Chain A
Amino acid sequence: MDATIAVALDGHPHRLAAGTTLALLLTSLRYEPSAVATAVNGRFVARSNRERFELHEGDSVLLFQPIAGG
């Protein structure tokens, strides 16, 4: 059985294959890379770094989108 890891995605439990990168996660969620910004464990991860950013057990992943604002 392939190894999986448990991460938190927007505060909710989410299981991923071990070795999943942030870029692959966005692809699996069907997000356009330019449509969201990403943070892992409270730190911004630039779009250009997602391909080599491997997620680990217990990581907290947050996605952000543009919205109207004052």
Chain B
Amino acid sequence: MHREPQVETDTWQVDGVTLCSRFLLGSAGYPSPQTLREAIRASGTQIVTVGLKRTLARGGDNGFVAIVRAALAEQGARLLPNTAGCRSAREAIELAMMARELYGTAWVKLEVVGDEYTLQPDPAELVEAARALVREGFVVWPYCTDDLVTCRRLLDVGCALLMPWGAPIGSAQGIANPLALRTLRARLADAILIVDAGIGAPSHAARVMEMGFDAVLSNSAVALSGDPVRMAHAFGQAVAAGREGWRAGLIPVQDFAVATTPVGGERVLVGLTDPPIRDPHTTRASRK
């Protein structure tokens, strides 16, 4: 009788919150609020990122945030506000304060842009902002590059985890520097590491998880795809599959072939001579 393999619940914890899904989803760029809601549901995510923007117009956000709140309430999930657009530690700190008040959470995805072309973080401003926000009681999720030393500084000042990029935001390149990410995973073995940015396909996410990372965040790859709901589902499955692959233990990469069928090293057919043998079941008479 066929028996399903036993798969125990694989959870992780941040700030005392236990999470089952290892896929985080960004909420920007969807064609409609309804599509976003369905994508959240299809992905199984438990954390959705949101932002803040200066406003004077009363147009609001077309209901996106209300949709996100409703969808998360259905799944028992949470919001993670970001400080996107900030160029200095001061800006990021002030925006984080506003986010905490508006969203009612001390969680903040800390972003401090250092370059307009790559949108990569300014490491000095990022660490300064993280230090200040931790002191103010925030649970800081810093978006960072794959620089090991900066990552260590962020952990030293009290960040709850790290969110190194896979590649520049929205670039869909996947893992631009696998060596750097492998180094982070190896050198920061006890840290929660979530690859954020640059993920373009479910296969990228699966590969990240196979490397032993704790979670993946994606926005553009889902929101801007041909079918965001289907893509959200695909990402949820890919992250879970990569995680299971890592837990199962991947075989090592080899430079040479290793036969899988155990036929041994001897020739299969003994007595084999050149030229190629004829079909032993066919006689010269029967071929005329």
Contacts and interface: CB of A to CB of B under 8 A. Distances in A.
Interface of A: 9-10, 12, 30, 34, 36-39, 42-44, 46-47, 62-70
Which of B51, B61, B68, B98 has the most chain A CB atoms closer than 10 A to its own CB?
Answer: B98
Given A9-B56, A10-B56, A42-B90, A68 B51 contact: yes
A32 to B, nearest CB: 11
A15 to B, nearest CB: 15
B86 to A, nearest CB: 12
B224 to A, nearest CB: 11
A70 B84 CA distance: 8
A68 B29 contact: yes
B120 interface: no
A70 B60 contact: no
B232 interface: no
B103 interface: yes
Contacts of A43: 94
Nearest to B218: A70
Nearest to A66: B65
A65 to B, nearest CB: 5
A38 B52 CA distance: 11
Given A64-B55, A67-B51, A67-B53, A37 B68 contact: no
B121 interface: no
B220 interface: yes
A68 B65 contact: yes
B61 A70 contact: no
Given A37-B101, A70-B26, A65 B94 contact: no
Given A39-B98, A42-B90, A64-B102, A70 B56 contact: no
Given A37-B101, A46-B101, A68-B61, 15 more contacts: A10-B54, A30-B58, A37-B97, A44-B101, A63-B55, A64-B95, A64-B102, A65-B53, A66-B61, A67-B50, A68-B36, A68-B50, A70-B49, A70-B219, A70-B220
Contacts of B28: 67-70
Nearest to B85: A69
Contacts of A10: 54-56
Nearest to B196: A70
B220 A64 contact: no
A68 B56 contact: no
Nearest to A48: B101
A66 B52 contact: yes
B169 interface: yes
Contacts of B68: 68
Interface string B221-251: 0000000000000000000000000000000
A38 to B, nearest CB: 8
Contacts of B30: 68
A65 B52 contact: yes
Contact of A65 (B61, B219, B220): B61
Interface string B28-50: 11100000100000000000011
A10 B55 CA distance: 7
A10 B30 CA distance: 27
A42 B87 CA distance: 13
Nearest to B223: A70
Interface string B56-100: 101011001100100000000000011010000010001101110
A68 to B, nearest CB: 4
